[in-house]
Amino acid sequence: MAVLLSPRPAVVAAARRAGARTVVVAPGPPVPSDREGAERRVPADWRDHGRLVTAVGRLDAVRRGRARVFGFDPAAALAAARANEALGLPGTPAAAVAALMDKAALRARSNALHAVRPVSFVRCGRAALIPFLAALIGFPCVVKPRSGVLGEGVRLLAGPAGAEAAVRDYPEVTDLLVEEYLEGPELAVEALSREGRHRVLGWTRRIPGPGAAAVTATGHELPVALPAEAAASVRALVRGVLDLAGHRDGPSHTELVLTPYGPRLIEAHAHPGAEELVSLLRLAHGTDVLALGVAAGLGLPEPAHHPRAAYAGLRYVDFPPGTRLARTRPALAAARAVPGVFRVGLQVPPGATVLGPPTGSLHHAHVLATAPTAGSLARALDRSAALLGGRPGPLTPDSRGIHVPPPPWGHGPHSA
């Protein structure tokens, strides 16, 4: 039995594809995932560890050890790991989930994987020290919370003026990392672990925002073809990071940059990537990340794989602050009707006014599409995003291959 903590509808649907019985644990009134047909709903605030263990511990499948608690977002992943430990159920250790959430410790550990050119970083406990520490690391550099999620609080500092301005963005006493900016193509990698063996399921390419050094993305795309050496180094880095954190079971999401010195870690998590990202892998390759994660966690046979070979892309769409989203339904219907569009999501309530710009990885809207060629994919995304009326970012249709910068010494493999 899959015990799901406030799951998105896609997670409940994936559990059903995996052949699992499902129980939804969520506080308050019914949640959107209920419409996907979970067999049972347990009203409980799973953020309270004691309440979660008490509520789930009453389930017959849990008492017989034939269940597992799943959390597919940062907070739920840690709560699920703690509950599984308390109830004697299988799953990755809570300490491993916490280790992946601690960006400072993870950076220090992952640097041990690089014999050449580890990533420069330093912890910062007071906002007033940002200018000094940024100058120490060198510009451009990145400031981010030690335990932040979804890109919240991440700042790119291009020079001393930006570092001085960043002081006002954080509390006086804080817990930050200041680290060097990693230059190169960025990948989001999905993996699945079973008893300490890590299987890379696939990756998407992040499309950066405008500017030579951007921390925001305008979308993701795939397929992504890498040279054999680079692909092997990506897999080695992901497996090494998960081993160092003690992650043994379940899905994971790792973000990294292909630098001239080889792949370098940005961050990693003990849960799948955002629903939109894992949907790309299913659209392009037929890889059902969510169903595979549930099946592996419960010891069920893998869901049937239906291979595909298509282009798939995700485009973020954002609206200027002050925009009132009038006539939303016709715009959504038109955007969804574009051939090749799989899904259009709107995060701002219809009729509401956009109060501010997007923050971190949270955007106002998105478009998912698939097509037989890179060019037709770009046209579908462009058309659908334009019909929404926002400001989409460019998506370059070049995902068949990534140019990996050569090492600065001119030859040799990417170290990992």
pLDDT digits (tens, 9 = 90+) for 133-173: 999 999 999 999 998 777 788 999 999 999 999 999 999 99
| 313 shares its domain with 230 | yes
Domain-embedded: residue 100 = no
Domain-embedded: residue 251 = yes
**In the prediction, which pLDDT does 407 show?**
39
| 293 shares its domain with 323 | yes
**In the prediction, which pLDDT does 399 show?**
35
| 136 shares its domain with 222 | no
pLDDT at 406 over 70: no
Domain-embedded: residue 403 = no
Residues 370 and 312 sit within 8 Å (Cβ to Cβ): yes
| 190 shares its domain with 308 | yes
Is the pLDDT higher at 2 or at 215?
A: 2
| 129 shares its domain with 222 | no
Amino acid at 263: P
Q: What percent of the chain has pLDDT over 70?
A: 90
| 224 shares its domain with 331 | yes
Range of the domain at 17: 2-91
Domain-embedded: residue 105 = no
Mean pLDDT of 237-245: 97
Q: What is the pLDDT of residues 395-405, one digit of tens each?
A: 333 333 444 44
| 87 shares its domain with 208 | no
| 84 shares its domain with 19 | yes
| 209 shares its domain with 287 | yes
Beta strands 2-5 and 68-70, pairing class:
parallel
Beta strands 141-145 and 173-180, pairing class:
antiparallel
| 206 shares its domain with 333 | yes
| 222 shares its domain with 338 | yes
**In the prediction, which pLDDT does 305 show?**
87
Residues 397 and 408 sit within 8 Å (Cβ to Cβ): no
Domain-embedded: residue 282 = yes
Domain-embedded: residue 142 = yes
Token representation of residue 371: 């097509």
- CATH number, domain at 32? 3.40.50.20
pTM: 0.90
State how many domains the chain has. Answer: 3
Among 178-192, 289-303, 380-394, which stretch is predicted with the lowest mean pLDDT?
A: 380-394
